[in-house]
């Protein structure tokens, strides 16, 4: 089973890169399933029905959320009607679901969406929530489990992986928009602290740099905007799973119109 994961898609530049490259990547790499993080896909904040349909049509099968999940009011109905997740550790009673089991290459694959504590909205303990759902999935016979941990702190992401690695197939990090170079296969579980954004790469986390710089200089708030024109990037991690364990992990990047390539192989520990 080959599963691709795309980090935070940020606005129109990110969607353009997905539309331009994903179908070609799927075909040439033989991907069975593609997951992506949607929380910044519509002008940097949340997801609209139109943009969701655009991304699914481009070759994404399932999307995960995060702290910007609720930024567009339409998301409440979309979570019930589309293959979209929101973090599993939002309080009880919140619409949507935090995990989904799908059949891929004639095997069950579970995708779990969890959100961290540091700088995030109020949520239940992510470590307790992740422990509980992973144990439930395994008790139901699901061996292939992919976790998207949407968190700011690298220490939270690393601790989560070390807690879960014997029971999951892979954990990816999202939210910081900055790709890390620590892709690894540790005792049969794939891991990367953050996949990195797909969108503008010459600004500040995919947003026009003017407001963030002014905010750092003065402390005054301002509206973050995604530029219409910029230098763009697509970032994706691909995992090969067999019998619930990760056999190979590698990173793919595409820059603007320069095509895509494998840029990193996950080190086996």
Active site (catalytic) residues: 68
Residue 31 sits at the vertex; the CA angle it makes with 163 and 4, to the nearest 5 degrees, is 35
Residue 263 and residue 252 in contact, taking contact as beta carbons nearer than 8 Å: yes
Q: Which helix (H) or strand (E) holds 217?
A: helix 210-218
CA-CA distance, 140 to 136, in Å (whole number)?
6
* Token pair 């320069």: residue: 258
Task: Provide the β-strand partners of residue 6.
Answer: 36, 236
| Residues whose CB is less than 8 angstroms from the CB of residue 173 and which lie 6 or more positions away in sequence, other chains included | 148, 149, 150, 151, 154, 157, 180, 192, 193, 194, 195
CA-CA distance, 84 to 53, in Å (whole number)?
11
CA-CA distance, 180 to 18, in Å (whole number)?
20
Residue 178 and residue 207 in contact, taking contact as beta carbons nearer than 8 Å: no
Burial of 212 (C-beta count, 10 Å sphere; 0-12/13-18/19+) = middle
């Amino acid at each position: 089973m080959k599963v691709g994961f795309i980090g935070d898609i940020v606005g129109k530049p990110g969607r353009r890169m997905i539309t331009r490259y994903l179908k070609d990547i799927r075909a040439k790499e033989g991907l069975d399933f593609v997951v992506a993080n949607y929380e910044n896909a519509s002008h940097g904040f949340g997801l609209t029905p139109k943009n969701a349909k655009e991304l699914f049509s481009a070759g994404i099968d399932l999307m995960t959320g995060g702290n910007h999940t609720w930024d567009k009011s339409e998301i409440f109905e979309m979570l019930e009607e589309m293959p979209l997740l929101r973090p599993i550790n939002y309080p009880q009673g919140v619409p949507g679901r935090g995990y989904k089991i799908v059949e891929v290459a004639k095997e069950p694959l579970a995708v779990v969406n969890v959100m961290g504590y540091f700088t995030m909205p109020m949520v239940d303990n992510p470590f307790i929530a992740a422990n509980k759902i992973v144990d439930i999935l395994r008790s139901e016979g699901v061996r292939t489990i992919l976790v998207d941990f949407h968190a700011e702190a690298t220490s939270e992401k690393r601790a989560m992986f070390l807690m879960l690695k014997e029971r999951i197939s892979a954990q990816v990090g999202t939210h910081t928009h900055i790709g890390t170079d620590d892709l690894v296969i540790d005792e049969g579980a794939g891991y990367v602290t953050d996949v990195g954004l797909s969108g503008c790469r010459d600004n500040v986390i995919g947003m026009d740099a003017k407001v963030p710089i002014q905010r750092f200089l003065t402390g005054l708030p301002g509206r973050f905007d995604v530029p219409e024109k910029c230098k763009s990037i697509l970032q994706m991690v691909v995992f090969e799973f067999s019998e619930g364990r990760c056999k190979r992990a590698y990173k793919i990047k595409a820059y603007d119109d320069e095509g895509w390539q494998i840029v990193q192989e996950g080190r086996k520990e």
